[in-house]
Structure 1
Amino acid sequence: MIAILTSGVALGVHVPGLLLASRLGERGAKVVVEVIERLLPDDRLRMVEASRSLFHRDFRVARAGQRLAADPAQAIDDAALVALHRRWRQLGVQRVVVFSGFWLGALGRLSALGLRVPEVTICQVDSVESPSFQRAAPSPVGTQVFRLASSASSDLPCTIPVTRRPPVRWPERGGRLLVHGGGWGMGTYRQRAADLSAAGHALDLVVHELDEAASAPAGTRAYLMDPSWHPWHDDGYPPLGHLAPGQDPRTVKFRRGTAHHSSFDLAREAIAMVSKPGGGTLLDSLWSATPLVLLEPSGQHEEHNARLWCDLGFGIRFEQWQDAGFVAEYLRPLHEALLTAGTGPARPLDMVEALCARKGSSCMR
């Protein structure tokens, strides 16, 4: 049994964790997903939910809050950790895969309580350490680390398959742009959507609040992320619903993928994703072979992500594409570079294959 340890404060690490769980499950592994916020006291969890709404509405506050974020593991009481460890023993958890550095503090506290911690594997989704790992407790000795992207070596050492379907060919794409602000809908994406619509581009726009759909540019297809859902509610992918023109947002029927997140299906059909450069967005870009038009990052780790994607020929800054007249064909070489990276002989190591190839792996148990 493998436990996938994520955090709900960043869908850019939570969704890759869900993807790894799905891919391992397809290989016959027994997997459980743990979201650290589920262990928090109710008052602290309400603060997290309030922060999500505030960060969505004010990007400046989000960027400042990221630098000052406290480790939630410190707010977890010992009884919750003991109950978690008891459940892991009952399930037979032999390995944990850490997607959020906040979990390292919780694992360290388990050790301090005299409780045995399963073998630890870390998955770094971003190209440098994200804020949760920068503030993390030390990793246990012998910890295995997988990196999905690396600024230090300017490459993609490892990956998690989003789908086994091949990317959509460039001539078969509908010419639309997918515009979003990551899992919490942060950044300048709504302003940029207006700029791109004015330049004549058809858009798919992901919104997060009921009142935002009404302000979407004319001709835009709006998709609403269920504003009442949080990753600590369940282990499913984020619920997403299409909002038809003039439709009451309260009547949207939300759906979610069972093998991967629904927004990835939009990415596969798009000629580019216009977004801040979160780690999960990089993964979507690779597996859909969809270029990134890069918006303002939310922190230094995302700035490193942006530089890496530009250096590899997979992305372009919004301002650069604007200077080129927002010409769609300008993006085609980026798509072709992504195709080569994802399917060529130098493609990244499949993390699922690596975990399942380990001696004594629980993938086959």
Structure 2
Amino acid sequence: MNSSPVTLLASGNSLGAYIPAMHLHTYLQVRGVRTEVHVLENLYHEEIRRKIHSTKKAFHADFSVALMGHKIAKPVDSSLNEAEVQLLLDTWIRDGVSRFAVFTGFWLPILERYKTMAQTPLDIQLIRLDACDTPSFKVHKSLYPDYNNVWLYEPSRLSPDGYIASDDMELLPYAQRAGRILIHGGGWGIGTYAGTISELRQLGYPLDVIVYDPSEVEEDDGSTCYFGTDASWNPWDWNAQGKHSFPPMNRYVREDGILRAIPLRDYSVYTDLMRNCAAMISKPGGASLNDSLSYGIPFVMLEPFGEHELQNSNYWESCGFGIRFAEWKALDYSEQHLEEMYRRLLEQRSKIIHLGRKTHATENSSYV
């Protein structure tokens, strides 16, 4: 007998509130649990949705602008199309939707409305992928204490409580990995990641770089590989089957000044890169912490984006799973420190299980 359907509430504004939801969706679907993913931006007025691209571009171009935007985060109520919200609520009532996994606090006012309409008890879990409130939860501090907050990284305990991936495969042994370093700037391509690329290339490190824009791809040097999300894709788009999906990704190669885009088979090609890398360099977003734990990736952390990422950085460093880039550099880019972090990640993974197995797994089966 399968568990009741689970509705996953995500956001495309940040891939950190989208990709983990898609991982959980994939994991549960494989195990016979029906799921439905909803992306908040589909409830926005069209003109608001169109502005997201210009905001992302500005944040990518100037990290200080991104930091300022983070500080003035506010509820999204004024962005919502009331007709679309009401249609969604009516659909949930019609279908008797009762189980939710929520990846951004901006859904809370809509859930508050649904709680007054629903005729059955609701199981609503707020999946907290950071060590403290992100802006989407901070602006709804009066609401979220009434919900079941599932903290993967409880600050009072230096031992993460779970992870989210499309599967629950064992970690690849460190000695069997390709020794490449993965560098990215999160879903919006922000932060100080770009400055580390030339530095590490000069030192001869083989790199896998996730670019925000193909214009960042440099001439092929036989060692650095470039990847990126297809520019035509938006997280709020539906695929040919009318469903949300992982972003389509390309590998980019520039030879003699000519750029080629080579589509990846599917998103698992990218997760295989993570599973196989020696370290990840990025800002310490919650989804990146999850990647670090899910795939056993030592995390070299760049400048944080806001208070929550600062707390994430402190937490991961205290757990022994990560190191700040400046400190790693001062240690002469120590490979020994990376391997020690991997061993601690491996030990932690042996103590915990996938969030899907713990909270929304198939009933009466080995996944409970």
SS at match of 1:150: coil
Structure 1 position 42 matched with structure 2 position 52: no
What is the deviation of 1:3? 0.9
> C-alpha distance in 1, partners of 2:348/2:19?
22
Structure 1 position 355 matched with structure 2 position 359: yes
Structure 1 position 305 matched with structure 2 position 309: no
Q: Mean alpha-carbon deviation: is it higher for 132-141 or for 121-130?
A: 132-141
Q: Mean alpha-carbon deviation: is it higher for 216-225 or for 29-38?
A: 216-225
Q: Which residue of 2 aligns with 1:286?
A: 293
Contact 2:58 2:66 in 1 (8 A): yes
**Cα displacement string for residues 285-329 of structure 1 (whole angstroms, at most 9, x for unaligned residues):** 112111000100111111111111111111111011101111323
> C-alpha distance in 2, partners of 1:72/1:339?
39
Q: Can you give the 5+ residue segments of structure 1 that lack an aligned partner in the other structure?
A: none
Contact 2:31 2:362 in 1 (8 A): no
**Distance change >3 Å, CA 175–CA 40, structure 1 → 2:** same
Q: Which residue of 1 aligns with 2:246?
A: 237
> C-alpha distance in 2, partners of 1:63/1:228?
26
> C-alpha distance in 2, partners of 1:32/1:101?
18
**Distance change >3 Å, CA 330–CA 153, structure 1 → 2:** closer
**Counterparts of 1:1-365 in structure 2 under 5 Å?**
1-110=5-114, 114=117, 118-136=122-140, 138-139=142-143, 143-214=147-218, 219-234=223-238, 235-246=244-255, 248-249=258-259, 251-257=261-267, 262-343=269-350, 347-356=351-360
> C-alpha distance in 2, partners of 1:350/1:305?
20
> C-alpha distance in 2, partners of 1:328/1:85?
52
* Alignment RMSD: 2.6
What is the deviation of 1:359? 8.6
**Distance change >3 Å, CA 158–CA 224, structure 1 → 2:** closer
Aligned-partner residue type, residue 28 of structure 1: G
Aligned-partner residue type, residue 293 of structure 1: V
SS at match of 1:158: coil
> C-alpha distance in 2, partners of 1:202/1:277?
22
Aligned-partner residue type, residue 350 of structure 1: H
Q: In the comparison of the two structures, how many residue pairs are matched?
A: 356
> C-alpha distance in 1, partners of 2:114/2:24?
24
Aligned-partner residue type, residue 182 of structure 2: L
Contact 2:228 2:249 in 1 (8 A): yes
What is the deviation of 1:142? 5.5
SS at match of 1:297: coil
> C-alpha distance in 2, partners of 1:209/1:131?
26
Aligned-partner residue type, residue 233 of structure 1: D
SS at match of 2:214: coil
> C-alpha distance in 1, partners of 2:354/2:313?
22
**Cα displacement string for residues 35-76 of structure 1 (whole angstroms, at most 9, x for unaligned residues):** 100100111111122211211121111111111123223321
> C-alpha distance in 1, partners of 2:105/2:212?
26
Contact 1:292 1:316 in 2 (8 A): yes
Contact 2:181 2:281 in 1 (8 A): yes
Q: Which residue of 1 aligns with 2:241?
A: none
> C-alpha distance in 2, partners of 1:45/1:264?
28
What is the deviation of 1:206? 0.6
Contact 1:177 1:203 in 2 (8 A): yes
State, as a whole percentage, how many aligned pairs show the same letter: 30
> C-alpha distance in 2, partners of 1:2/1:202?
41
> C-alpha distance in 2, partners of 1:12/1:134?
16
> C-alpha distance in 1, partners of 2:208/2:87?
43
SS at match of 2:218: helix
SS at match of 1:237: coil
Taking structure 2 as the reference length, what is the TM-score of the superposition? Answer: 0.89
Contact 2:164 2:294 in 1 (8 A): no
> C-alpha distance in 1, partners of 2:107/2:364?
24
**Distance change >3 Å, CA 93–CA 196, structure 1 → 2:** same
Q: Mean alpha-carbon deviation: is it higher for 298-307 or for 61-70?
A: 61-70
Aligned-partner residue type, residue 321 of structure 1: W
What is the deviation of 1:193? 1.2
Q: Mean alpha-carbon deviation: is it higher for 145-154 or for 311-320?
A: 145-154
Taking structure 1 as the reference length, what is the TM-score of the superposition? Answer: 0.89
